[in-house]
Structure 1
Amino acid sequence: MSQVELGWRRFNFFDKFIINDPEKPGERFLGLKDVVVDCCASVGDVVYLGEEKGAVFRVTKDFKEYFWRCFQHSLAHLKAVGAILLSVGKDEPTESLIKIWNTDQLEKGSPLLMRTIRIGHAQARTSTKCTMVTGDSNLRAVAIGFDDGTVAVYIGDILKDRAVTSQWLRVRDSSPQDGPITGLCLSTLSTTSGPMFVLFVLTPKIIQSHLIENKTIMHTLRHNSPNMNGVDRMCWAFDEIRQELVVANRDMVFFFNAQQCLDPNNTQGKCHALGRAHDTLQLVEADGFIALLTRQPALIPTSEAEWMSLVSVYDVNNKYIGFSCSLPSACTLIRLGSTIMILSRDGTLSALVPKHLNAKLEILYRKNFYDVALSLAKKCEEAVDKLPTIHAKYADYLYSKGDFANAIEQYKDTMGHLEPSYVIKRFLDASKIQQLCAYLETLHAKRLNNSHHTTILINCYAKMADKSKIRKFVEQTTKENCDLEAAISVLRSSSLYEPASLLALKHQMHGHHLRILIDDQRKYDRAIRYLQSLDPIIAVDYLEEYGRSLLEAQPEETMKLITKTVASIKENDFDASRLLKVFIVDSSKSTQFIETIIDKVPPICALTLKQTIIELRLREYVREKGNLQIDTFMSNVIPLISDDTEDHALQLARIFDCPPLQRFILERSEKKSPDLIQFYIKQGKLKDLIESCKKRKDRSLWLETLVFISQIREPIEERLLKEMLDEISSENLVHPLVVLEILSRSETLKVSTVREYVIQWLQKQEKQISEDKKAIVESEKRMVEVQAETEKLHFKVQTIQAAKCCACATALQLPAIHFLCKHSFHVHCFESYAEQADACPACAAKYTPSEQRIAQTEKLMQKGAHAIFQNELKNSSNGISIVADYVGRGLFSATSNTAASVRASHSTDAPRNNYSTNPFDEDNGDERSSNTTSSGGPTLLSRQISRVGRVPSGTKPQTISRNPFDESTNPFDSDE
């Protein structure tokens, strides 16, 4: 039966190359010609080939070789353990020897012989030939086998122990019926109790394993199977890394793991069927591959020459033949490192070199063997990035064959590399919905999905009506692996309201849950209960959105919910006006809501609520205009009118045409006089306008009223006009000339209407003229007196004889201050009572009206006098009198201009006039500087002159500075 019939697929994954001589390029390597290999041992990149006559050839990877004679008579077996080579054979025909060589050291052209151990009848308890030797990887144990089936083990340091010959442990007694020992494998297992050794014993009839611990045989297992009895000498291999024994016979390849031998009941190993009726000559394991050398007849074998050798390389894990070659002559397989070599009888050495992975994959692609390609790529670390491509090709191949179930399994392994839309499009058909669900579920599990994938998956569940999967999806879904909003939207569109509500509730998506309850299921009572369970701050947000629907469905419960929610929120935590939109078409409930919360909100929110309730009241006013009591309406609205709300309320009153409210707002605010006049004008209520003007006493309002009257073409009640003119005259709000100028524009008024008003004004003016004439006479008389007093002060000696202080009425003591007004003070009394540094405290309170006017004139020189003048002129009903008063106080005189120019010169640091205004300054060149008082004290004559404002005739004009930063003229400010 061929390999194909047994399920083995055949590929050409190896290239056969003939090895050339490294020293003679172009010629074949013939260093092993005529070598008959009876045993071999491989370690690393070195192989040792032994001949039966005792010669050993050492070949390296670069094909450098040398040989030495290991035994003089015969060589039975070789075992390489690192740099140590164990060999068993005979130097004489009678006795077997074990020779231990150090291959790293050469001595006379051969490795260093470290030790020779004789195996006599006493040690082995047999006189038969030793056929096999082996050791573990650390050379802590050595085992030997004989041709009668006997096996002995030495445990210890065989290189250093002296009593080796007497410490052999007999593992197996002689069993001639089982045949000679054809193979020995020794493996070390590490356990908690210490190292344990597993010894595999192979004969042509049986395979056994012996478990040895502390130099004691724990148990022995016999590995038998229907197709396995024993193994020939070179038809086995042991992988020390995997601790696995591989044996082959005519029909099968068997694998025995040393770890499994710890179980006394585990006697079976795994096996793979090979081609039958092939005599296995040799087995070599290299890099995961098993190379078998078998013999098969050419046609009808009649002689030895008609038999052919067949070399096959098996990948048992992936169950394919990677190389197969028939050779016409006998050959030997050699493992050199990870390369399998073929040594032909003629000395030709060939190497089986694996092809590159890409070449292997191309071969597999052409044959659609994608499963094998996956196995190859998984074994190679460099090919990990090729796996998605292989899975994609494999999936496409399976899809083309109609194997959708397996195709989708392969597509799952392409996630992250192959675009999911490519796969989804191929499985959108209703007949493939199961596979599509499986793919999308995996996509969600790997968190590679987006909202569209979630939508498709939910749609698939909906079409399948698989409630269990939908429930499982809801239970396993998280925010990280799913677009929750998309999932809920799909469930709602498929009328799967309960799962959608459960998903929203699970992830606290309050808005979606309420939307399902209210918009889809119409379960308003559940929605209200759910809102009650939320935090009030959160509930307000959703009441703003869904409160209108709830109010329409269950008004009483909704109002209770809103009131309770707002009441539970602390002040300043939210803006309650946001909930007004809930009552947009229900003014009564809106008013009720505002009245409930208006005292519980911050001022800025209260303002908005007041404005809103005013608007609601006005809407009610318009709606029930015929039935609504004006007094009741005003009593409800007036408490809401304040300085903050009156502008908005006035605008609303105009929009809704509510004259009572307009009138109230306009009359309460002084800033809205023009608006009040316009209101009365539009209403045509002159009487009300006049009454309002009387209450407010606003000049601009009276002017507007006069203009309005002058424009009326209908007859005006004469009594009202006279009443208004009397009010204007009594309060002196508007100048009569202005009144007459405005009223003269009227086309309906008669002179008789204003005649009495004009006569009264003329009489007042005549009386005022006579009073002014008397005042002029008195002022002229006073001026003469003042001028005489001034001349006396300038040109006559003033004798000051005051003996007491005018402030404390005690005797004067120096230092003292004397004024030309005959008042004298102690310095400390003056500083305590004086309000000005250059004015007598006693005379300051006795200024005559003319002197007060002089003081007021001095104030005119201060900064801001012009603005004061403009303000008084604007607000006065008699502008002429204001101008005359300021002219009389010297605002427009040359003196004030001169003072202003002097101040300007001082501000620019111009040179000052050498003439001082103080006649008592010592550095003044004028003769008056020598005049002194009789008491010898200082005087303030210059300040008195400055206060009177007159200069004697015949003197030089003085520049009187008003700059507060000028040098003081007070003689007591100096240090002298």
Structure 2
Amino acid sequence: MSFAFKKFNFFQQHEVKIHGFPANSTCHCLGGSLLYVGCDNGTVHLLDEAFQSQGSLSAYGHKVLFIAWAPARQLLVTVGLEEPGISTATLKVWEAERVATAAATAAAASSAAAAISALPQPAAASAAAASLPPLRLHKLFSSKHPESEVTALAVADDGSAAGNLLLVAVGLAAGAVHVFSGDVSSQKGKLTHTGKLQVRPDSGELWKVNALVFAAPQQQQQQQQQQQQGRNDASNKDPAAAAGGSSSKIAALGRSTPAASGGGACESSSSSSSQQATPGQQWLYVVTEAQTLGFNMADMSKTILDQQGLLASGCAVLQEGLLVVARDDALYEYTPETRAGCTAFEGLKQGLAKLRRYLVVTTDDTSPDGAASSQLHLLDVRNKLLAGSFGLQGLAAVVVGPGGLATWDKAGRLVRYFEVELSTQLEVLFKRSLHKLALDLALCHDADPQLIAAIRQRWGDHLYAKAEYEGAMAQYLETIGSDLEPSYVIRRFLDAQRIHSLTRYLEQLHAAGLGTADHTTLLLNCYTKLKDVGKLDAFLHRNAGSSSSSSRGPAGGVGGGAAGMAVLAAAEKAARRHGKGGKGEGPQLSFDPETAFKVLRSAGYAQHALFVAEQAAQPEWILDVLLEDMGSFPEALAFIGLLSRRQQAQALQRYGKLLIGAAPDDTTALLMALCMPGPESQADHTGDSADAKADAKFVASVADYAQLYADRPTRLLYLCEFILFNSGEGEVPQEQQLYHTLLELYLAEQLVDHELQEAAAGSAAEVAPQARRDKARELLQRGWQPHMAQPKYDPEHALVLCRQHSYVPGLVLLYDKKRLYREVAALHMQAGDYGSLIAACVQYGDAAAGGDPQLWAEALEFFCSQPGDCSSAISQVLQHIEQGELLPPLVVLQTLAKNKNLKVSIVKDYVARQLQMEGKEIAKDRDTISRLQAETSAMKAEAAKLKSQPHVFQSSRCAASGQALELPVVHFMCGHSFNLRSLGESDRECPLCAPDFRRVLDIRRNMKAGALKPDEFFSQLDASADGFGVVAEHFGRGVMNMTQQSMASQGAAAGAGAGALGQL
């Protein structure tokens, strides 16, 4: 035994008490889910995975020598003797399905018969062998092919044989191999002898064929690649090893799984032969007593692989694409071209079998006293692992069946061998600190990725405890993407002395796309602490590609004297992705850009922060760096100009104060363009998106930026004027706010920019106040023109501003627009401007023009209350009052009497004219009274005549139609006559005189109704300047003729009438 193998007890024995393994077995093979066992009586037994009999087949008359399985075609190939003597050796091919069916049927019949006859079960089973004709049959020996002992059998059925041919090789003790082929897929196909391979050496008499193995080089190459990959895995070079967890998961996740493919280990190798294998060719390994050979079945060419062979049969298998030959000193591996290597394992070999990735090696362990004894070894060659060793007495056969490995001894004992669970194996390895072997073993078992990661974690913890930090980090790196929290690793390496290892871990974490914002922060802090600009650049450029080589040189700085152009170039790239009518779609970075940006800025890496902002297509971040960190105001303004209009508006709202302080003219020019419709709004946007169309039509409001000009009001003035006077109707948003801002600027007492004030000491920088105030009145007129239904500004707000700044022209204009004429007059009164007051009264005191005549009365009151000489003004006011008959003379005289300094000469002419006019009115009234009295007397006389004397109706025609009167006729006392048919059914009054009569009644009714409202009388009396006129008017309505009783009755009548009207 070699000390290169580590010994473990990973297999356990279990004796099978009841089984169907025949005692007279000669050969066996695994075929699908059954084990086929040939016996010396010509019978083939079928056993399941529990080694229980599933029936038998009578294949030969004498003895079964060899059995082989063709998996692709599900065929069973046997070689046996029909009679004693080698001359009857026959090759037969069976359909496995038919064999299994026939054997099961025969076994069932035999069981039924045994139950009836009460025969012992072995006897019944022996009688139950099924008889079935083979699919193909061929006698091995004839006159052309001399007889020789059959020593080996091999079948090629892996799909690489030409067409549908089945290749069968039969080895002989005479040093020859017979090759048979045939089409077994059709009924007419035959199995024919196609060749004879001579395997005798050039010298010597050792030529017996002890092993035959078919192999396809293409499969071998694939197996070798998998072998090399497995070795890389074992060397911790597999970057895909993922997943992990705590060591407690091993017991839960570790369970036995099918073995992984891979190559065996080798300790030495020989030079390869000149002949090379071609994919698709079929090769046959032949191991004789003296040599190991390889035959290309395409041309039957021979390659001597080794000048050593096998002295015992059954010590060669095909393992993972390589021929493994077990000699007493070692296990040798071969390819079709040469020997591939060997693994030292001493002992007299009795047999070799394959169980998944294990080689089952049987060695002779006979003691000196002569007792027959053997040792069963299970070798994992790849991992140099001896999984189990068992001493056996009287070993008869080693069987690899569907249920795993078993041994059969001469005493009839059948022992099965079970591999313990993977978790148990791993715990054993962990106790011995064999973490690498544990990892290799788990990889061979195709273990769950979580288990692989748990092993790596334990290995890393072990190395970390031994202060092997680099090795520990190498294992922790392989757990990235598993259940192992990154914080577990990070906490262990948060030390300045291990910052390089921590940096490696964080880099891999981000490369796997698993880095969080906190991880990004930590990684960037590591870079900045190490001052490793190169790695910082590499990290930032990882996903940027060639298109992202923006503004920075190799060291991350802005290149040369073209800093401004370089920064602008980076800004333009971000603007192209994130501006001009669309949403930005930057590259998908492997880290959190916002976190990286903040960390780089705080660490003073402005250029790197700018790069991150550009890659993330974040205009706000770019402007933060350009303005706050680099002070690149021209580049920032140029970048803002490249953005979409909405983004420009947002950027100026955020950074406008800073930009105006550094570049007021350029910033104001940018705002002018933004607050007015751009050329894009008139362009054709048929193919653009809805967002692009909306952005092209976006116009910013000046009101949103007015606060930015707190220290530079003159530029705000120019901005407002430019936008207002250069925009069309309805093009300016929030136009009212624009008017308010501009008006306030016009009315300001001082308008000085901060920098001009510092340079010119205040007064020299002042914009002419009077010129601004003149513009204020023009602005008010512009915003409220006669044809406008509503003003473009808020009149109340404008009034407040004008009052606040004592701007009289503006107040006058606004009062005029609002028809507040008395406020205009009061304004002039307050200012003591007599001329303007009289002009205002002339303009607004004409009732015919919609004015307020009461202004003259107020003006007269004002002038009479002044202490100075206002004779001229009073004369003008009296003239207008007299012309318009605005006030009763008595009221005028009472008002004039308040001014003690007023001369009588001023009012003498006025009094004379008023007396003359009053005399004319009295005379006129007397004439009217006389006329009305005469009419009243005549009416009274007529009424008395109607009451006392008959009335003669002399009209002969109808007053309505003009036709002759015909009975029936209706006569009215007014003298009108009508045919009855000309009147309505409800007419009880003369249709011609009724309107005048009703008018008189309405006048009378209104007079009486007015007399019933004393409160209205007294209120009019208090409000009127001519109280006598009010009293006279109400006397005329008969208010003094109404007694208290008559007023009550009239009120009741009025209420009844109102109720009737309400019912109607």
Amino acid corresponding to residue 800 of structure 2 in structure 1:
Q
Which residue does the alignment assign to 1:131?
Answer: 151
Q: Tell me if 1:360 matches 2:379.
A: no
Q: Tell me if 1:60 matches 2:39.
A: no
The 3-state SS of whatever aligns with 1:312 is: strand
What is the CA–CA distance in structure 2 between the aligned matches of 1:734 and 1:905, rounded to whole Å? 43
Aligned pair count reads 854
Q: 8 Å contact 2:154–2:169 — kept in the other structure?
A: yes
The 3-state SS of whatever aligns with 1:594 is: helix
What is the CA–CA distance in structure 2 between the aligned matches of 1:840 and 1:184, rounded to whole Å? 145
Which residue does the alignment assign to 2:571?
Answer: none
1:111-146 deviation digits (Å, cap 9, x = unpaired)? 4353453222435x3332122223344882322111
Which residue does the alignment assign to 1:606?
Answer: 735
In structure 2, list runs of 5 or more residues that go unmatched.
Answer: 107-126, 159-164, 220-277, 545-586, 682-696, 753-761, 785-790, 846-851, 984-988
Which residue does the alignment assign to 1:342?
Answer: 407
Amino acid corresponding to residue 658 of structure 1 in structure 2:
S
- Larger mean CA deviation between 599-608 and 685-694 belongs to 685-694
Matches within 5 A, 1:509-524: 509-524=618-633
Which residue does the alignment assign to 1:140?
Answer: 166
- Offset at residue 182 of structure 1 (A): 1.6
What is the CA–CA distance in structure 2 between the aligned matches of 1:418 and 1:743, rounded to whole Å? 106
Which residue does the alignment assign to 1:98?
Answer: 90
Q: 8 Å contact 1:680–1:686 — kept in the other structure?
A: yes
Which residue does the alignment assign to 1:926?
Answer: none
Q: Tell me if 1:235 matches 2:384.
A: no
- Larger mean CA deviation between 584-593 and 350-359 belongs to 350-359
Q: Tell me if 1:292 matches 2:344.
A: no
What is the CA–CA distance in structure 1 between the aligned matches of 2:420 and 2:448, rounded to whole Å? 14
What is the CA–CA distance in structure 2 between the aligned matches of 1:104 and 1:363, rounded to whole Å? 46
The 3-state SS of whatever aligns with 1:105 is: helix
- Offset at residue 586 of structure 1 (A): 0.8
What is the CA–CA distance in structure 2 between the aligned matches of 1:823 and 1:334, rounded to whole Å? 149
1:43-97 deviation digits (Å, cap 9, x = unpaired)? 2343344567867655433333477886666653222444635133462224151
Which residue does the alignment assign to 1:925?
Answer: none
The 3-state SS of whatever aligns with 2:483 is: coil
The 3-state SS of whatever aligns with 2:349 is: strand
Q: 8 Å contact 1:84–1:103 — kept in the other structure?
A: no
1:172-211 deviation digits (Å, cap 9, x = unpaired)? 45557562222223457999x9986443323244333434
1:210–1:408 distance in 2 versus 1, CA, 3 Å = same
1:162–1:772 distance in 2 versus 1, CA, 3 Å = closer
Q: 8 Å contact 2:10–2:420 — kept in the other structure?
A: yes
Q: Tell me if 1:203 matches 2:288.
A: yes
The 3-state SS of whatever aligns with 2:131 is: strand
Q: 8 Å contact 1:548–1:583 — kept in the other structure?
A: yes
Q: 8 Å contact 1:733–1:877 — kept in the other structure?
A: no
Higher relative contact order (CA 8 A, sep 6+): 2
1:169 paired residue among 191, 195, 198? 195
What is the CA–CA distance in structure 2 between the aligned matches of 1:874 and 1:403, rounded to whole Å? 111
Q: 8 Å contact 1:96–1:129 — kept in the other structure?
A: no
Which residue does the alignment assign to 2:661?
Answer: 552
- Larger mean CA deviation between 626-635 and 180-189 belongs to 626-635
Amino acid corresponding to residue 133 of structure 1 in structure 2:
L
Q: 8 Å contact 2:503–2:523 — kept in the other structure?
A: yes
- Offset at residue 593 of structure 1 (A): 1.4
Q: 8 Å contact 1:416–1:448 — kept in the other structure?
A: no
The 3-state SS of whatever aligns with 2:208 is: coil
Which residue does the alignment assign to 1:313?
Answer: 378
- Offset at residue 759 of structure 1 (A): 7.8
Which residue does the alignment assign to 1:47?
Answer: 35
What is the CA–CA distance in structure 2 between the aligned matches of 1:607 and 1:574, rounded to whole Å? 14
Q: 8 Å contact 1:54–1:69 — kept in the other structure?
A: yes
1:454-512 deviation digits (Å, cap 9, x = unpaired)? 22222333334444433333331534643222222222223322333233234432222
Which residue does the alignment assign to 2:719?
Answer: 593
1:862-888 deviation digits (Å, cap 9, x = unpaired)? xxx99x999999997668867986896
- Larger mean CA deviation between 373-382 and 353-362 belongs to 373-382
1:718–1:18 distance in 2 versus 1, CA, 3 Å = same
What is the CA–CA distance in structure 2 between the aligned matches of 1:735 and 1:489, rounded to whole Å? 86
Q: 8 Å contact 2:46–2:100 — kept in the other structure?
A: no
Which residue does the alignment assign to 2:562?
Answer: none
The 3-state SS of whatever aligns with 1:635 is: helix
Q: 8 Å contact 1:208–1:222 — kept in the other structure?
A: yes
Matches within 5 A, 1:888-927: 898=1053, 901-902=1056-1057, 904-905=1059-1060, 907-908=1062-1063
2:778 paired residue among 632, 639, 644? 639
- Larger mean CA deviation between 496-505 and 557-566 belongs to 557-566
1:302–1:315 distance in 2 versus 1, CA, 3 Å = closer
Which residue does the alignment assign to 2:78?
Answer: 86
In structure 1, list runs of 5 or more residues that go unmatched.
Answer: 22-28, 831-837, 909-962, 964-976
What is the CA–CA distance in structure 1 between the aligned matches of 2:991 and 2:333, rounded to whole Å? 134
Amino acid corresponding to residue 649 of structure 1 in structure 2:
A
What is the CA–CA distance in structure 2 between the aligned matches of 1:594 and 1:461, rounded to whole Å? 50
- Offset at residue 786 of structure 1 (A): 6.2
Q: 8 Å contact 1:618–1:653 — kept in the other structure?
A: yes
Which residue does the alignment assign to 2:265?
Answer: none
Report the RMSD for the aligned CA atoms in angstroms: 5.5
Which residue does the alignment assign to 1:110?
Answer: 129
- Larger mean CA deviation between 771-780 and 481-490 belongs to 771-780
Amino acid corresponding to residue 273 of structure 1 in structure 2:
T
- Offset at residue 285 of structure 1 (A): 1.8
- Offset at residue 340 of structure 1 (A): 1.0
Matches within 5 A, 1:272-671: 273-274=343-344, 276-295=345-364, 302-305=368-371, 309-327=374-392, 330=395, 332-378=397-443, 383-412=448-477, 413-415=479-481, 417-475=483-541, 476=543, 478-479=587-588, 481-566=590-675, 569=678, 570=681, 573-599=699-725, 600=727, 602-621=731-750, 631-641=770-780, 642=784, 643=791, 644-655=793-804, 657-660=805-808, 663-664=811-812, 667-670=815-818
- Offset at residue 673 of structure 1 (A): 6.4
What is the CA–CA distance in structure 2 between the aligned matches of 1:69 and 1:174, rounded to whole Å? 35
TM-score, length-normalised on structure 2? 0.66
The 3-state SS of whatever aligns with 1:454 is: helix
1:183 paired residue among 175, 187, 211? 211
1:282–1:537 distance in 2 versus 1, CA, 3 Å = same
What is the CA–CA distance in structure 2 between the aligned matches of 1:632 and 1:380, rounded to whole Å? 95
The 3-state SS of whatever aligns with 2:748 is: helix
1:400-439 deviation digits (Å, cap 9, x = unpaired)? 3334444334434342523222322223323333333333
Amino acid corresponding to residue 142 of structure 1 in structure 2:
V
Which residue does the alignment assign to 2:66?
Answer: 77
2:16 paired residue among 11, 19, 25? 19
Q: 8 Å contact 1:142–1:155 — kept in the other structure?
A: yes
- Offset at residue 163 of structure 1 (A): 9.3
Which residue does the alignment assign to 1:24?
Answer: none
1:113–1:689 distance in 2 versus 1, CA, 3 Å = same
Amino acid corresponding to residue 797 of structure 2 in structure 1:
H
Q: 8 Å contact 2:676–2:700 — kept in the other structure?
A: no
The 3-state SS of whatever aligns with 1:611 is: helix
The 3-state SS of whatever aligns with 1:552 is: helix
1:687-712 deviation digits (Å, cap 9, x = unpaired)? 876775665445787898899999x9
